[in-house]
């Protein structure tokens, strides 16, 4: 009877119960007992309720505010924020690469890409890395807040990435699969350069390798394809792997980001994009000249009117 009436519960209740069942099925669910914020309800609440609500509220508060969005105070806040994330990313990927190179827990490619069923849980010294990575993604939501304060448009790519990356990394933080450590290392390696670029660009410094940074971002998600192929090979033709849900969630999110970043690249760095930007710049320049000429004519007309009076 209870199962038959469950259908009539609100979608929020059914979703909450589904999250509870998902958490219970995760091999690293026990970590939530000692590690803060490591709950699927908290992850989804931040991603789908708190984040969009705060950003929409902040956008409403910033509408028609009389302050300079390019002022020094906001520039220094943005630079400090990017510096913190850049240094965290640098320390994270160096630590993970060093640990993977010296730790003998997973001694073969099979164990690294496809942890067989029945294997012991990931040691705490290793599981700490995905957890810290998950927490950093929550902190990264300040990226959007700073953009709103600077009165910048929020692209779909930006909102999609920052919203879904929290439940995505929650899968990693509650996983026993060793390959998530490789994902953490690759992502933080890319983010080291990305946040360095963001920090220095606030002071007018434009590194020449911005275009190649976008290529690197696309490449990090494309790496997931061969890794997923190895996982599926070992799963169906080898000993069998745990956590198909982790690999599936990672693959779907990576495919979406490859498509969105490829679209971003084509709109900003191809020859057609460069031609379009030149045309837009010419139109803006001509519009500015027209406005200046119109002001001169209007001022002259006002002067002629005064003379006739």
Q: How confident is the model at residue 271 (pLDDT cuts 50, 70, 90)?
A: low
The mean per-residue pLDDT over the stretch 293-305 comes to 66
> What average pLDDT does this structure show over 188-216?
93
Q: For residue 219, count other CB atoms closer than 10 A to its CB.
A: 14
Nearest to 141 by CA among 253, 53, 250, 68: 53
Greatest CA separation for the chain: 97
SS3 content of the chain, % helix, strand, coil (to 5): 80, 0, 20
The answer to whether 216 touches 193, Cβ cutoff 8 Å, is yes
What pLDDT sits at residue 224? 82
Beta-carbon contacts of 295 under 8 Å, excluding residues fewer than 6 positions away, are none
pLDDT by residue (tens digit) across 27-42?
A: 887 888 788 999 999 9
Average pLDDT taken over every residue of the chain: 85
Cβ contacts of 3 within 8 Å, gap of 6 or more: none
Evaluate whether 233 touches 256 at the Cβ level (below 8 Å): no
Question: Could you give the count of Cα atoms lying within 13 Å of 239 in the half-sphere of its Cβ?
Answer: 13
| Residue whose tokens read 């390696």 | 189
pLDDT at residue 1, as a whole number: 45
Phi first, then psi: give them for residue 7, nearest 5 degrees: -60, -30
Residues 6 or more apart whose Cβ sits within 8 Å of residue 212: none
| pLDDT band at 186; cut points 50, 70, 90 | very high
Residue 173's pLDDT band, with cuts at 50, 70 and 90, is very high
Q: Where residue 281 falls among pLDDT bands split at 50, 70, 90?
A: low
Q: Which tens digit of pLDDT belongs to each residue from 112-166?
A: 888 877 777 788 889 999 999 999 999 999 999 999 998 888 999 999 999 999 9
Give the highest mean pLDDT range of 74-88, 236-250, 267-281: 74-88
pLDDT at 8 over 60: no
Question: Which of 120-129, 247-256, 268-277 shows the lowest per-residue confidence on average (mean pLDDT)?
Answer: 268-277
Whether residue 161 lies in the annotated active site = yes
Could you tell me how many residues make up the chain? 309
pLDDT tens for residues 217-244? 999 999 888 888 888 888 888 778 888 8
Residue 209 is predicted with a pLDDT of 93
Counting residues of the chain whose pLDDT is more than 70, the rounded percentage is 84
Catalytic pick from 30, 63, 161, 191? 161
Residue 110 has pLDDT above 70, yes or no: yes
Mean pLDDT, residues 48-76: 85
3-state DSSP call for residue 116? strand
Contact 95, 133 (CB under 8 A): no
Q: Is the separation of the CB atoms in 134 and 106 below 8 Å?
A: no
3-state secondary structure 21-73: HHHHHCCCHHHHHCCCCCCHHHHHHHHHHHHHHHHHHHHHHHCCCCCCCCCHH
The total of other beta-carbon atoms located within 10 Å of residue 24's CB is 8
């Amino acid at each position: 009877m209870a199962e038959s009436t469950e259908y009539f519960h609100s979608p929020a209740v059914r979703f909450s119960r589904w999250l509870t069942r998902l958490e219970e099925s995760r091999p690293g669910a026990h970590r939530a007992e000692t590690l803060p914020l490591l709950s699927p309800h908290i992850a989804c609440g931040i991603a789908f309720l708190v984040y969009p609500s705060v950003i929409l509220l902040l956008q409403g508060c910033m509408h028609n505010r009389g302050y300079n969005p390019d002022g020094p105070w906001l520039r220094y806040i943005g630079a400090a924020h990017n510096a913190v994330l850049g240094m965290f990313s640098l320390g994270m990927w160096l630590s993970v690469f060093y640990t993977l190179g010296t730790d003998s827990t997973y001694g073969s490619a099979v164990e690294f890409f496809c942890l067989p069923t029945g294997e012991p849980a990931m040691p705490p010294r290793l599981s700490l890395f995905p957890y810290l990575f998950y927490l950093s993604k929550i902190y990264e939501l300040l990226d959007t807040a700073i953009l709103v304060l600077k009165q910048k448009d929020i692209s779909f790519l930006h909102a999609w990435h920052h919203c879904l990356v929290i439940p995505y990394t929650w899968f990693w933080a509650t996983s026993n699969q060793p390959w998530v450590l490789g994902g953490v290392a690759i992502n933080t390696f890319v983010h080291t350069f990305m946040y360095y670029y963001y920090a220095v660009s606030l002071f007018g410094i434009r590194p020449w390798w911005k275009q190649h940074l976008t290529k690197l971002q696309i490449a990090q998600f494309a790496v997931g394809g061969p890794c997923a192929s190895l996982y599926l090979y070992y799963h169906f033709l080898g000993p069998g792997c745990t956590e198909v849900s982790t690999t599936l969630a990672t693959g779907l999110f990576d495919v979406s980001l490859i498509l969105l970043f490829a679209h971003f690249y084509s709109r900003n760095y191809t020859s057609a994009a460069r031609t379009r930007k030149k045309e837009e710049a010419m139109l803006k320049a001509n519009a500015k000249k027209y406005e200046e000429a119109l002001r001169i004519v209007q001022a002259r007309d006002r002067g002629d009117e005064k003379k006739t009076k």
